[in-house]
Amino acid sequence: MVGGAVRNALLGEPVHEVDIATTLAPEATMRSAQAAGLKAHPTGIDHGTVTIVSGNNAFEVTTLRHDVETHGRHATVAFTDDWQADAARRDFTMNALYASLDGEIFDPLGGIGDALCRNVRFAGDAETRIREDFLRVLRFFRFHAQYGDGALDEAGLAACTRLKDGLNKLSRERVGQEMKKLLLAKGAAQAAGLMNGAGVSQVLFGRDLDDAVLERLAAIDAANALSPDYPLRLAGCLAMSADELGESLRLSNAEVRAIAGLRDAMPPSPALRDNERKVVLYQTGAETFTRAARLAWAHSNAPAGDAAWLGLMKLLEEWPLPALPVTGSDLIAAGLEPGPELGATLRRLEDWWVAGGFVATREELLAKVSA
Ligand code: ATP
Ligand code: MG
């Protein structure tokens, strides 16, 4: 095993995927997997990676290699049986840890110490390694957000600060993937502050990240056992429109829609009266209401465990969103012509039903139409 699985096992953090390193050449990896009755897919065979599937688990198995020449994501690689060389092409010492089947750890770069001290340190000379692939600037802050503690490694930070303009050369897909992990990490706010200080946020987004809002969102999540939410954190820390964010980070349509909903939503507040809350919830929709409440809470001065804000968020549990008791077909059955008129009538009925506190029945609504 190599990389994240070994690092996380050492740190007592959950392991999401197990990557494997091998001295076998890629074709031999495929053959030996198949001989063992496992499916093998040549997913990245040119750079040595074969994906082996066992049950519901996929494992990336990569032949030991060293990068002969790197040009961003794509490297000209040479396969090797030298574990040290394989370690040296990896980004950080804590990511260059290997464990054998019986649990013996091979640590050619001193990554165990760095992992346990929660110190993200470049494998080799930071500047050289960044010039090979500028994504490593962002990964430096991302791994610090996830696994770091305390101050950033000084040499690493200085190199990232000097070379930050190289981030412009990266594809926005790669930036987006790293930003997602960074913003969802427990140290997101601290990392964002460090990125602002290094000028990295300016290069990436033309502005600083709002690390104070990230800090508040994280505190609220922690106090109330809420899972961090990517669209929420993005919308909170970057004053950009949903479309700009979508473009900048190659977000999914669902993520762009979530941010757009949040930008348009009327912010819920515990200062609203009971029926006003219901109106806001009904008009915003459940998912956006929860996000909007979390964001408004973060912008308020209320403590992270505040009962009034928590009560506002709990509205959804106490009051499942009602559905308008009449439909278009009901109106047609009542003699209305299909068309824009009918839509307008339906909306009028809905407004009346909402303003009246969602209590009017189907019969009362239909009676209003014929009246
Ligand atoms: P995560 O839990 O986020 O998946 P990870 O350590 O598995 O953490 P990945 O981005 O999946 O991180 O990369 C897997 C491994 O490949 C890393 O641990 C690192 O050794 C190496 N690696 C990935 N990207 C780079 C890069 N840009 N430069 C150098 N090494 C890299
Ligand atoms: Mg990984």
In this structure, the residue with its CA closest to atom 25 of ligand 1 is 91
User: Cα of 96 to ligand 1 centre, how many Å?
Assistant: 9
**Cα 366 versus chain centre, distance:** 46
For residue 90, give the ligand 1 atom closest to its CA. Answer: 30
Asked if pLDDT for residue 226 goes beyond 80, the answer is yes
Q: How many CB atoms lie within 10 A of CB 4?
A: 20
**CA angle centred on 369, ends 343 and 365, rounded to 5°:** 95
Choosing from 20, 49, 89, 95 the residue with most ligand 1 atoms within 8 A of its CB, the one to mutate for a pocket test is 95
Asked if pLDDT for residue 168 goes beyond 70, the answer is yes
| Ligand 1 pocket residue status of 148, Cβ below 6 Å | no
| Ligand 1 pocket residue status of 136, Cβ below 6 Å | yes
Average pLDDT over residues 135-158: 97
**pLDDT of res. 75:** 76
**pLDDT of res. 163:** 98
The whole-chain average pLDDT of the chain stands at 95
Q: Residue 154 — very low, low, confident or very high, per pLDDT cuts 50/70/90?
A: very high
Which ligand approaches the C-alpha of residue 4 most closely?
1
**pLDDT of res. 276:** 93
d(CA 65, CA 78): 5
Average pLDDT over residues 66-78: 81
d(CA 157, CA 165): 14
Q: pLDDT, tens digit, for every residue of 278-311?
A: 999 999 999 999 999 999 999 999 999 999 999 9
**Fold adopted by 126-264:** cca-adding enzyme, domain 2 (1.10.3090)
Tokens 């640590």 correspond to what residue? 107
Which ligand approaches the C-alpha of residue 95 most closely?
1
In this structure, the residue with its CA closest to atom 21 of ligand 1 is 90
For residue 16, give the ligand 1 atom closest to its CA. Answer: 2
| Ligand 1 pocket residue status of 111, Cβ below 6 Å | no
Asked if pLDDT for residue 41 goes beyond 80, the answer is yes
Distant-in-sequence, close-in-space partners of 348: CB < 8 Å, separation ≥ 6: none
**pLDDT of res. 70:** 76
* Identity of residue 305: G
- Cβ–Cβ under 8 Å, residues 218 and 189: yes
User: Cα of 356 to ligand 2 centre, how many Å?
Assistant: 53
Asked if pLDDT for residue 87 goes beyond 80, the answer is yes
Asked if pLDDT for residue 371 goes beyond 70, the answer is no
| Ligand 1 pocket residue status of 95, Cβ below 6 Å | yes
Q: Residue 159 — very low, low, confident or very high, per pLDDT cuts 50/70/90?
A: very high
Average pLDDT over residues 97-126: 97
d(CA 38, CA 35): 7
Average pLDDT over residues 247-255: 98
Tokens 């809420």 correspond to what residue? 226
What percent of the chain shows pLDDT beyond 70?
A: 99
Average pLDDT over residues 234-243: 98
Asked if pLDDT for residue 72 goes beyond 90, the answer is no
Average pLDDT over residues 4-12: 97
| In the chain, domain spans | 126-264, 265-321, 328-370
